[in-house]
Structure 1
Amino acid sequence: MHRTRRVGAVAMAAMLVTVALAGCTGAATFTNPILDVANDPYVIKDGSHYLLVESAGGGISVTKSPENNLTGIAGGDRTQVWTTPSEGPNCADVWAPELHHVDGKWYIYYAATTCDGDNTNHRMFVLESEGDDPLGPYIDRGKIADQNDRWAIDGTRFEFGDRAYFAWSGWPGSTDGQQNLYIAEMTSPTTLEGAGVLISEPTLDFERQTMPINEGPQAIVTDDKVFLVYSASASWTDDYGYGMLTGSGDDLLDPSSWQKSPESVFAKTDDVFGPGHGSFTTSPDGKEDWMVYHSARYSGAGWDRMMNAQRFTWKDGVPDFGTPVGEKEQPVPSGQVAAPGS
């Protein structure tokens, strides 16, 4: 099985966030990593707090950040919101949960498999909050699948125009060896319509290192486009990095609506390895765009990962992610709580 992941508990005490004063300006800074142990980090802004959802402790947990503090999220309050059942199709290898707010409810989408840990049985599942509290309680709504009901992981939800979509990574058949990206329309937050449409295969060199993989799709939506950022190549290698699809038009279920960037849009450097499978949010005051992603602890570390944050910008209407920022000071997000005494 290629994708068994380390999903240890959040190491709160190991948080390496640094807040310092830079000269007389009182500008606060931080240093990556912002969380010492992390896989596939998904962060969403909820009012004056950020929420980090993780697969940990035999289930799924949500960490609520200190107020107006993205880079200090590891110091927040953590709540176990769901525990894996002792039997059934979703009792082992819980991967890459995501948290979404839809019509006054919270939904957690996650991949899981049967109790024997057989990777071929991985499917997507969904939890629904009973009320409007992201910390639960949650109801298990079971599997969320298209009519083909094949191997599926890394599902994400987004809206464009007046339609809601679900994108995920799946095998083209019934055996491991390649992962593609598929999309389907959602008729509700827990239901997909029809068969998934293939929108990306790993055909480019940067997508085929060690194994041809497209996974971890994340949508950045503007008025007229969807930038679907995905992770490419084998996740356990230094070559893991981001690719990007750009979708536009009235029907994102039409494969011709999507155009692939010809090169990786975020790749390893001399000191950051395997950057990928993260999420996108904004600064506390909403003036800046930020990305949160994992990277390998060192070259060759595989799934031994940590969580990083950095700002991204735009160029000619397209996200510009730059290069991964390693262990050096960066300004904290705009509007983040200032350092004491500043």
Structure 2
Amino acid sequence: MLKGALALGAAAAVPTAGLAHADEQAGRAVGNPLVRQRADPHIHGHTDGRYYFTATAPEYDRIILRRSRTLAGLSAAEEAVVWRRHTGGDMAAHIWAPEIHHINGVWYVYFAAAPADDVWKIRMWVLENRNADPFRGTWTERGRIVTAWDTFSLDATTFTHRGARYLAWAQHEPTTDSNTGVFLSRMSSPWTLTGPQVRLTTPEYDWERIGFKVNEGPSVIRRNGRICMTYSASATDANYCLGLLTAADNVDLLAPGAWAKSPAPVFTSNDTTGQYGPGHNSFTVAEDGRTDVLVYHARQYKEITGDPLHDPNRHTRIQRLGWKPDGTPDFGVPVADGPVCPLGKGRA
């Protein structure tokens, strides 16, 4: 397997005038949708007591940030654009699925982008900001994450396990009939892969192959002696859903057989609550410091005219994440629009 390497990109300055420091409403009830027309949501709960939010904008042309001391406050928090697509070259189209991470005191955003003249040549890219405040300073383009194959790749997420940093992502594997599977590799830096790149899952069940044969959007939560990795499957319409991989917390995550795959989806559309296509999730913890929270997007209707990717109404939503007696997550069903069960009283 190839080791990752990145060419350095140009620097992009972030304007500081008019940036929001958040809607600080500690007592406000959380309601869904949390943020409208923001798909693939990622919320990072930081040590400064704030939640940092980013997601895909339906124009696919920029990377946005919000922050608040409460999850509810993200709904009305002013939104800052920290990076825009290029007018040409490799980062000019399909700006998708950003995630914000704080690694060794430095802020990073992982995202996908494509050339203006080949909009499906999507690859993964990294921005870096060394300022303590990600709404200030300079976001530097660290370049592309290089994988073993130069193929369609997106949805990078990173986490640590037993002292090592990993990247999980979705990619098309040559010689297969699937659009994407989910892969895992160790990292030697926040933008460089090292060692073997292992496929964790590929679309094999019928529910993963509706419309498109897709496994994508991995997200990780560690609880109860397990590492749990969700991923999204099928087309981005009402068939979109979450699958689940689990591994023991004490194993080599790159070893064959380390991960067990659920044979059924764990989070799906629900006619009763009126939520369709729930997927591309992330995890955070409520203001009480204990309650696990599922963050995801869904639409409020099933029928879509044209390409689902051109329909802007994938809204960010949140709800409590439960746990089963065997230590695996209990996702329940996508909750209906309106108030959500209290998730905490807010941070000081």
Whether these two folds match at TM > 0.5 is: yes
Greater Cα shift, 217-226 or 286-295: 217-226
Q: Are 1:214 and 2:211 counterparts?
A: no
For 2:320, the equivalent position in structure 1 comes to 311
Unaligned ranges ≥5, structure 2: 1-24
TM-score using structure 1 length: 0.84
Question: 2: distance between equivalents of 1:28 and 1:97?
Answer: 27
CA distance, structure 2, for counterparts of residue 33 and residue 176 of structure 1: 35
Which amino acid in 2 is paired with 1:306? H
Unaligned segments of structure 1, at least 5 residues: 1-18, 20-26, 338-342
Give the whole-Å Cα distance in 2 for the aligned partners of 1:320 and 1:134: 33
* Cα deviation 1:284-324 (Å, max 9, x = unaligned): 12121111111023112334311111111111211111111
CA positional deviation for 1:42: 0.9
Q: Distance in 1 between matches of 2:175 and 2:86?
A: 25
Distance (whole Å) between structure 1 residues aligned to residue 339 and residue 56 of structure 2: 29
> What's the offset of the Cα at 1:91?
1.8
Conservation of the 8 A alpha-carbon contact between 2:28 and 2:73: no
Change (3 A) 1:176 1:115: farther
Say whether the 8 Å CA contact 1:198–1:255 is kept in structure 2: no
Task: State the Cα deviation string for residues 96-115 of structure 1 (Å, max 9, x = none).
Answer: 00001100001100010112
Q: Paired residue for 1:332?
A: 342
The 8 Å contact of residues 160 and 221 in structure 1, kept in 2 or not, is answered as no
Q: Which residue of 1 aligns with 2:131?
A: 131
- Cα pair distance change 1:331/1:306, threshold 3 Å: same
Structure 2 CA distance for partners of 1:180 and 1:223, relative to 1, 3 Å: same
2:226 counterpart of 1:245: no
Moved more, 203-212 or 152-161: 203-212
Q: Deviations over 1:186-241 (max 9, x none)?
A: 01111001452111011112211222210000001237321010111111x21111
Q: Structure 1 residues 177, 147: closer, same or farther in 2, change over 3 A?
A: closer
Compute the displacement of 1:333 (Å): 1.2
Query: Does 2:294 match 1:294?
Result: no
- C-alpha displacement of 1:59: 1.9
> 5 Å matches for 1:32-181?
32-46=32-46, 47-56=48-57, 58-65=61-68, 67=69, 69-119=70-120, 121-135=121-135, 136-173=137-174, 177-181=178-182
Aligned-residue RMSD, C-alpha: 2.3
Distance 1:115 1:218 in 2: 28
Would the aligned equivalents of 2:109 and 2:128 in 1 still touch at CA under 8 Å?
yes
CA distance in 1, matches of 2:148, 2:208: 27
Q: What is the CA-CA distance between 1:117 and the residue it aligns to?
A: 4.2
Contact 2:62 2:95 in 1 (8 A): yes
Q: Look up the match of 1:320.
A: 330
Greater alpha carbon shift after TM alignment, 284-293 vs 221-230: 221-230
> Alpha carbons of 1:100 and 1:328: their partners in 2 closer, same or farther (altered >3 Å)?
same
Alpha carbons 1:160, 1:226 under 8 Å: kept: no
Return the alpha-carbon distance in structure 2 between the equivalents of residues 91 and 176 of structure 1. Answer: 28
Query: Aligned to 1:331, what secondary structure does the other structure show?
Result: coil
Give the number of equivalent residue pairs.
Answer: 310
